[in-house]
């Protein structure tokens, strides 16, 4: 299948802060009386991506770190239906590391949508609205610190709260690491496609797959990504410290704990570039030669979906590798500063002398294989991969998205996070876009391109129509395919009596779209014995040992796999390409992959010819193999949004 290279641009949208008071969980009255014994009140501000307020585009690359633009998405991507506040505690004097590793779970409290209301904010450009929640919280000893984790839009099929105990997909939470365990379709006891499983992380899947996404605390760096020397000493923080007050009145007037949340899913949109787009046709693009010259062929996109999508996720993003022996190591030619932004966020992690924190732009998913490990990702079971097997799409026909991104609609697909270490960048474990099209072909004798059945032989780009075109024209590529094959085969058959005569070769009836390497699967031969052997050998030579049949112009393309970081961020590969995963090094980490809360916008700039007649399974080759990809330029923006331009 021909692979598309894309021009990526990420937008990490302005973050929404929600502000409202919660009376429903107040066990006392409204005079300031405290709640039940052992509990107090906290004031929490939840900040998340928003389309309201200050939506001016805000870049996050002020000093050469991650090249990201902050963008708004659609309004319904910010809806909040419910929430859980989960509290953890540990000694104020940490024994090692951070509360992310030490803090023990204490209690969880559910909030309904009536507890959550939106109000304006005067925060930084990354935050546009705010929800402050005054709610109950467990008290801790004087030498202990309480921390909070917010879970928005939780699905009751995955999350349960029983008398304060929180269970997520069968795991009872005791530490933050329990929220970073694998959640998969198999754990739910159901057989689910990626789209179905994504719906487990929304509280309103029956209405829209773009509504009420599950969100949790976003990990932030205490150092900006402006130089390798600075970022190499950075730490990541996820749990937010809170102050517990005896009364609600004290909490209202007290310090607010600022939480920044992110969606569990990533977003992908597909659109056509303006240069080769057919005028007044939203889904049609002109086929062009390598030099950009337009042919008379046209490709019409009839559907698209994400392929090689992860079947599992972690509820809370795992940034375990965000340290100076992992992603931030200062190896030769490695630019660790790309893993953090440079635009500060006024968060509440309580670190001495730190008031500004910075977004982190990578993650470790459930099947992330660390450097030096002998483990191998199980591509067959870890991912949903569509391909054609004996004429049938397996594991089942995709739910094709028929809409492309326009100025008025995103028409997005969503997927779970899919990342890999640098030596695991293989195409059968890397998410890409699968595109279904109709190919309109122009032959001599046509007045315009037609959607018709045609053949391509071997590695040639010449197309041959199944039916005669143009009233018997004998121009190259115009005669019916069977006539062309017989004529060329006769030139190779030395015995005159073995040569084809009229109607001695026919295309098999009910021939399905596909690529064939056995000519007997495509043609019916009337000959027998030595004559049959001679004819089949000649035909096999004529077709180059391979025949691709595009029934009714049915045509598929793969994207060139979704890139996360671009070349400008220090992930260049040799011009000759990559022939083995052993050619990858730390400096290539994050070159491919999809990360939660990032928006990947793929723009098809050009199409150079037919793709494949069926959905071809990924080959298991390195993502940057020397052959197979078509050149493109890549720009990076960042809900976070990354845009990628491609040529087919």
319-360 pLDDT, tens digit each: 999 999 999 999 888 999 999 988 888 788 877 767 788 889
Of the candidates 268, 202, 309, 195, the one whose C-alpha atom is nearest the C-alpha of residue 599 is 268
pLDDT of residue 122: 44
pLDDT at 118 over 60: no
pLDDT of residue 33: 46
Could you read off the pLDDT of 73-108 as tens digits, one per residue?
Answer: 666 677 778 889 999 999 998 876 789 999 999 999
Judge contact between 264 and 595, C-beta under 8 A.
no
Of the candidates 220, 371, 398, the one whose C-alpha atom is nearest the C-alpha of residue 306 is 398
Judge contact between 535 and 527, C-beta under 8 A.
yes
Over the chain, what is the mean pLDDT? 81
Of residues 32 and 215, the one with the higher pLDDT is: 215
Of residues 296 and 642, the one with the higher pLDDT is: 296
- Mean pLDDT, range 179-184, rounded to an integer: 90
Judge contact between 460 and 488, C-beta under 8 A.
no
Judge contact between 549 and 521, C-beta under 8 A.
no
Band of the pLDDT at 369, cuts 50, 70, 90?
confident
Q: Which two tokens stand for residue 313?
A: 């996720």
Q: What are the strands, taking DSSP E only, across 71-174?
A: 82-91, 104-112, 119-120, 127-138, 144-152, 159-162, 165-168, 171-172
pLDDT of residue 164: 95
Q: Which two tokens stand for residue 437?
A: 């099209």
CB half-sphere exposure, 214, CA atoms < 13 A: 27
pLDDT of residue 55: 26
Q: What CA–CA distances, in Å, run from 625 to 351, 572, 628?
A: 44, 13, 7
Band of the pLDDT at 542, cuts 50, 70, 90?
very high
CA distance 543 to 459: 9
pLDDT at 538 over 90: yes
Phi-psi sector, 547: left (phi>0), alpha (psi -120 to 50), beta: beta
Between 32-46, 206-220, 276-290, 527-541, the lowest mean confidence (pLDDT) is in 32-46
Between 58-72, 122-136, 564-578, the lowest mean confidence (pLDDT) is in 58-72
Q: Which two tokens stand for residue 412?
A: 């997005």
- Mean pLDDT, range 190-199, rounded to an integer: 70
- Mean pLDDT, range 133-144, rounded to an integer: 91
Highest mean pLDDT out of 84-88, 186-190, 350-354, 583-587: 84-88
Let me know how many helices (H) and strands (E) the chain has, helices first: 7, 42
- The answer to whether the peptide bond before residue 395 is cis (omega within 30 degrees of 0) is yes
Of the candidates 410, 307, 415, 437, the one whose C-alpha atom is nearest the C-alpha of residue 365 is 415
pLDDT at 227 over 50: yes
Going 123 to 125 to 126 to 128, the CA torsion angle's sign is positive
Could you read off the pLDDT of 391-450 as tens digits, one per residue?
Answer: 899 988 998 999 998 877 888 889 999 999 998 999 999 999 999 999 999 888 888 899
Of the candidates 302, 275, 267, the one whose C-alpha atom is nearest the C-alpha of residue 604 is 275
Residue 31 gets which letter from DSSP? T
Of the candidates 217, 247, 202, the one whose C-alpha atom is nearest the C-alpha of residue 88 is 217
pLDDT at 63 over 50: no
pLDDT of residue 365: 94
Instruction: Considering only CA atoms, give the Rg of the chain.
Output: 29
Band of the pLDDT at 1, cuts 50, 70, 90?
low
pLDDT at 220 over 90: yes
Please report how the helices 529-542 and 481-490 are oriented relative to each other, as an axis angle in degrees rounded to 10. Answer: 110
Phi-psi sector, 197: left (phi>0), alpha (psi -120 to 50), beta: alpha
CA distance 56 to 643: 18
Q: Which two tokens stand for residue 597?
A: 């809360």
pLDDT of residue 144: 94
Q: What is the pTM of this model?
A: 0.87
Which residues, in sequence order, are CB contacts of 293 under 8 Å at separation 6+?
none
Q: What is the share, in percent, of the chain residues with pLDDT greater than 90?
A: 46
pLDDT at 287 over 70: yes
pLDDT of residue 529: 96
- Mean pLDDT, range 444-459, rounded to an integer: 90
Q: What are the strands, taking DSSP E only, across 328-427?
A: 345-346, 356-359, 383-384, 387-389, 392-394, 413-416
CA distance 470 to 461: 20
pLDDT at 162 over 60: yes
Band of the pLDDT at 190, cuts 50, 70, 90?
low
Highest mean pLDDT out of 124-138, 155-169, 368-382, 629-643: 155-169
3-state secondary structure of 566: coil
3-state secondary structure of 235: coil
Q: φ, ψ for residue 428 (rounded to 5)?
A: -90, 10
Residue 117 gets which letter from DSSP? -
CA distance 378 to 623: 17
pLDDT of residue 9: 28
pLDDT at 129 over 80: no
Highest mean pLDDT out of 219-223, 442-446, 476-480, 635-639: 219-223
pLDDT at 380 over 90: no
- Mean pLDDT, range 449-453, rounded to an integer: 93
């Amino acid at each position: 299948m021909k692979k598309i290279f894309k021009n990526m641009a990420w937008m990490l949208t302005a973050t929404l802060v929600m502000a409202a008071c919660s009376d429903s969980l107040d066990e006392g009255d409204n005079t300031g009386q405290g709640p039940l014994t052992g509990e107090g009140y906290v004031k929490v501000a939840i900040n998340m991506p928003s389309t309201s307020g200050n939506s001016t585009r805000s870049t996050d690359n002020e000093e050469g770190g991650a090249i990201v633009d902050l963008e708004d998405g659609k309004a319904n991507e910010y809806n909040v239906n419910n929430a859980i506040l989960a509290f953890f505690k540990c000694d104020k004097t940490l024994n090692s590391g951070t509360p992310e590793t030490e803090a023990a779970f204490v209690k969880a409290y559910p909030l309904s949508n009536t507890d959550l209301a939106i109000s304006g904010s005067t925060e930084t450009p990354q935050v546009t609205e705010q929800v402050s929640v005054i709610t109950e919280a467990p008290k801790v000893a004087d030498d202990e610190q309480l921390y909070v984790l917010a879970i928005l839009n939780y699905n009751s099929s995955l999350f349960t709260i029983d008398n304060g105990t929180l269970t997520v997909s069968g795991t009872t939470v005791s530490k933050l690491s329990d929220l970073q365990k694998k959640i998969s379709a198999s754990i739910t006891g159901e057989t689910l496609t990626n789209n179905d499983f994504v719906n487990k992380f929304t509280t309103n899947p029956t209405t829209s797959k773009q509504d009420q996404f599950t969100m949790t605390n976003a990990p932030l760096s205490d150092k900006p990504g402006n130089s390798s020397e600075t970022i190499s000493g950075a730490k990541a923080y996820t749990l937010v410290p809170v102050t517990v007050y005896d009364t609600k009145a004290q909490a209202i007037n007290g310090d607010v704990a600022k939480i920044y949340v992110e969606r569990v899913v990533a977003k992908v949109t597909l659109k056509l570039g303006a240069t080769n787009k057919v005028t007044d046709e939203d889904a049609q693009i002109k086929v062009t030669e390598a030099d950009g010259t337009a042919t008379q062929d046209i490709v019409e996109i009839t559907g698209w979906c994400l392929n090689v999508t992860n079947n599992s996720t972690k509820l809370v993003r795992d940034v375990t590798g965000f340290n100076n022996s992992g992603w931030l190591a200062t190896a030769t030619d490695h630019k660790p500063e790309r893993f953090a932004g440079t635009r500060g966020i006024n968060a509440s992690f309580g670190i001495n002398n730190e008031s500004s924190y910075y977004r982190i732009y990578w993650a470790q998913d459930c099947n992330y294989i660390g450097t030096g490990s002998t483990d191998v990702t199980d591509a067959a079971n870890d991912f949903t991969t569509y391909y054609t097997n004996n004429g049938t799409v397996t594991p089942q026909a995709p739910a094709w998205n028929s809409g492309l991104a326009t100025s008025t609609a995103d028409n997005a697909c969503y997927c779970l996070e899919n990342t890999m270490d640098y030596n695991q960048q293989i195409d059968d474990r890397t998410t890409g876009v699968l595109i279904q099209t109709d190919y309109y072909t122009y032959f001599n004798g046509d007045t315009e391109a037609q959607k018709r059945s045609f053949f391509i032989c071997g590695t040639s780009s010449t197309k041959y129509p199944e039916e005669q075109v143009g009233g018997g024209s004998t121009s190259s590529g115009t005669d019916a395919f069977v006539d062309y094959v017989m004529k060329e085969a006769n030139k190779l058959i030395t015995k005159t009596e073995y040569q084809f005569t009229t109607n001695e070769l026919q295309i098999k009836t009910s021939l399905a779209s596909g690529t064939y390497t056995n000519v007997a699967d495509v043609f019916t031969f009337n000959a027998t014995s030595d004559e049959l052997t001679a004819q089949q050998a000649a035909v096999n030579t004529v077709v180059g040992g391979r025949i691709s049949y595009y029934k009714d112009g049915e045509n598929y393309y793969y994207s060139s796999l979704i890139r996360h970081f671009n070349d400008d961020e220090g992930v260049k590969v040799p011009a000759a390409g990559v022939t083995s995963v052993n050619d990858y090094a730390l400096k290539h980490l994050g070159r491919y992959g999809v990360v939660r809360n990032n928006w990947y916008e793929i723009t098809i700039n050009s199409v150079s010819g037919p793709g494949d007649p069926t959905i071809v399974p990924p080959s298991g080759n390195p993502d940057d193999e020397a052959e197979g990809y078509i050149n493109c330029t890549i720009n990076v923006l960042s809900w976070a949004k990354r845009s990628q331009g491609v040529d087919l």
